[in-house]
């Protein structure tokens, strides 16, 4: 009887730890969710970095230390899609 009680206690303890390894607060299920969320956040960070790069470029054009006479032309050409006569146009096929 004592042997059975020890065996059941060991099985219960093993089951307890096995359950918490899988579903616990720091378990494998939570880790998988965190890895997936990390990938989504990395994707979002890359998008935000490209926006930040464009904004830095726009701010640099507005900077008083480096006067740029072409800011209006560059903005208009970018927004309206116009080109100058001496521009070389490369089209994708």
Average pLDDT, the chain: 86
Whether this prediction's pTM lies above 0.85 is answered by no
Q: For CA atoms 55, 57, 58, 63, give the dihedral sign.
A: positive
Q: What is the per-residue pLDDT across 52-89, written as a single tens digit (0 to 9) for each?
A: 999 998 887 777 776 566 777 777 777 888 777 887 87
Q: In the chain, where are the structural domains located?
A: 2-80
More confident residue, 18 or 87: 18
Structural tokens at position 66: 């480096």
Q: What sign has the CA pseudo-torsion 80, 84, 87, 90?
A: positive
């Amino acid at each position: 009887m004592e042997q059975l009680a020890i065996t059941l206690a060991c099985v219960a303890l093993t089951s307890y730890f096995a359950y918490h390894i899988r579903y616990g607060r720091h378990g494998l299920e939570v880790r998988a969710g965190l890895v997936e969320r990390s990938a989504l956040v990395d994707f979002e960070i890359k998008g935000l970095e490209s926006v930040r790069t464009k904004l830095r470029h726009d701010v640099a054009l507005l900077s008083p230390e480096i006067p740029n006479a072409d800011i209006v032309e560059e903005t208009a050409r970018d927004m309206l899609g116009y080109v100058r006569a001496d521009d070389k146009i490369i089209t994708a096929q």
